[in-house]
Homo-oligomer: A and B are copies of this chain.
C-alpha cells in the first residue's frame, strides 16, 4: 500500500472535530447542547438571495466564466466602491468561498517553503491552507490582556527571515473579534513595504462592526497597492455560508492574472450560488441594521455574562461574532469535553471551541475558548448560566494566579 503524503500527515484536523462525537452522544442522551462552537449563523439569508435561487430559470446549469459572471463582478465592484474601496471588476476574481480565494492567493504569491507571519490566535483553517500551499506559519502572539491588539512592530519584525513572503490578518478577527485600527494597519503597511511582503487581509466580517466602528480596509492603505490581497466572501455578510462564493481582490495585475490561471484549472465557481450572491447585493440596509443590532445584544449578553462569572475574563469584541474568553480551568480541551460528556444543568450543556487550535505556538490558549454568538438571546442567556454552574463543579477548576496573589498579600 503506497504511503500517503507529508501534506496529508501535516494537515491539521478541525480543532472541534474531536468533540463532535461527545456532542452527538450528549444529544442522544437527551441533553440540549448550545452550539457556541461554530461560525454558522442562525440569521436568515436575505429574501432576495433565496428568491434568486428559487427563480433560477436556465434549462442548462452551465459553467460560468472562470473569474465569475461578468455581471456579478461589475456589481460587486460597485458594492466595494460604495464602501470606499475603489476597485473595478478587473481587480476581482470570484472564487469558491473565501477559502479558495486565500488558497489561490497564497499559491500565487508564495513559494514552497516560504514563511507567512500570522498574529495568533488566528482562524484555524489558515493552517490547512498553508499546508496545501507548502508554507510554514510563523505566529506572532497577540495577548488576551490587550484584547488581541496587533503585537508591537518590533515583535513582528523579529519574526521576519529571508523566507518570509507574506503577513496574513483577519479583520475584524476570527476568533478574537478584534478590529484593527487604521494606525495598526498602517504599522503593518510600513512593515510590508520595508520588507517587500504581501499582505493578505481576510475581511469577510466587515459588515459586523459595533458601536459605530468603521472598519478600515487594507485596500485603502497607501503605497502598497501591489502588496495587498484582500479575501472576501458572501458567507457571513448574507448568512449564506452554504453558497460557496468568495472573492480575491487585488490591484496587483500579476497576481490577478496568475490567480485566474488557477481559476481556469478548476473551471468556475458555482453558478446558482453566483446568481444568489449577485441578487444579495440588493439586500436593503435595514437587513444589516437589524443583524448588527441583534449581534450587539447577543455579544453583550455573552460577554457581560462571562465576565460576571468569577475568574472568567473576556475582552469585549468590536466586530465579527466571536468572543475569546479565558476560563479559570486546567485545560480548555478537557473542560469542553467534560461539559459535553459529564456535565449538565437542567439537562442542558454548552459546546465551545478550545482555543488551542487557534494558536500555532504549542501550549498557548490552554485556558481559552472561542465562543460564537450565533444563537438567539434566550439560548445565550441559558448557555452563560450553564457555564457559570459548570465552573462551580468542574474538577479541573483552578484559582487564578492573580487571586492567589491577592490571597497571599
Q: Answer whether A128 and B264 are a contact pair too, CB < 8 Å, given A5-B107, A6-B111, A198-B2.
A: yes
Kindly list chain B residues whose C-beta atoms are within 8 Å of the C-beta of A272: 53, 242-243, 270, 272-273, 276
Kindly supply a per-residue 1/0 record for chain A positions 27-47, scoring 1 wherever the CB is within 8 Å of any chain B CB and 0 otherwise: 000000000000011111100
Q: Answer whether A242 and B55 are a contact pair too, CB < 8 Å, given A1-B227, A273-B270.
A: no
Minimal Cβ-Cβ distance residue in B for A195: B2
Beta-carbon contacts under 8 Å, A250-269 to B: 252, 254-255, 258-259, 261-262, 264-269
Beta-carbon contacts under 8 Å, A269-322 to B: 269-273, 276
Residues B4 and A254 in contact, CB atoms below 8 Å apart: yes
Residues B50 and A63 in contact, CB atoms below 8 Å apart: no
Q: Answer whether A4 and B109 are a contact pair too, CB < 8 Å, given A97-B266, A264-B13, A266-B99.
A: yes
Kindly list chain B residues whose C-beta atoms are within 8 Å of the C-beta of A55: 54
Residues B262 and A226 in contact, CB atoms below 8 Å apart: no
Residues B262 and A128 in contact, CB atoms below 8 Å apart: yes
Q: Is residue A376 contacting chain B, with contact meaning CB distance below 8 A?
A: no
Residues B50 and A97 in contact, CB atoms below 8 Å apart: no
Beta-carbon contacts under 8 Å, A371-397 to B: none
Residues A63 and B242 in contact, CB atoms below 8 Å apart: yes
Kindly supply a per-residue 1/0 record for chain A positions 155-191, scoring 1 wherever the CB is within 8 Å of any chain B CB and 0 otherwise: 0000000000110000000000000000000000000
Q: Answer whether A40 and B56 are a contact pair too, CB < 8 Å, given A244-B96, A272-B242, A273-B270.
A: no
Minimal Cβ-Cβ distance residue in B for A47: B59
Q: Is residue A61 contacting chain B, with contact meaning CB distance below 8 A?
A: yes
Minimal Cβ-Cβ distance residue in B for A132: B107
Q: Is residue A333 contacting chain B, with contact meaning CB distance below 8 A?
A: no
Q: Answer whether A1 and B242 are a contact pair too, CB < 8 Å, given A132-B265, A276-B61.
A: no
Minimal Cβ-Cβ distance residue in B for A252: B1
Kindly list chain B residues whose C-beta atoms are within 8 Å of the C-beta of A332: none
Residues B165 and A64 in contact, CB atoms below 8 Å apart: no
Residues B108 and A265 in contact, CB atoms below 8 Å apart: no
Q: Is residue A346 contacting chain B, with contact meaning CB distance below 8 A?
A: no
Cα of A139 to Cα of B45 in the assembled complex, Å: 48
Kindly list chain B residues whose C-beta atoms are within 8 Å of the C-beta of A107: 5, 7-8, 132
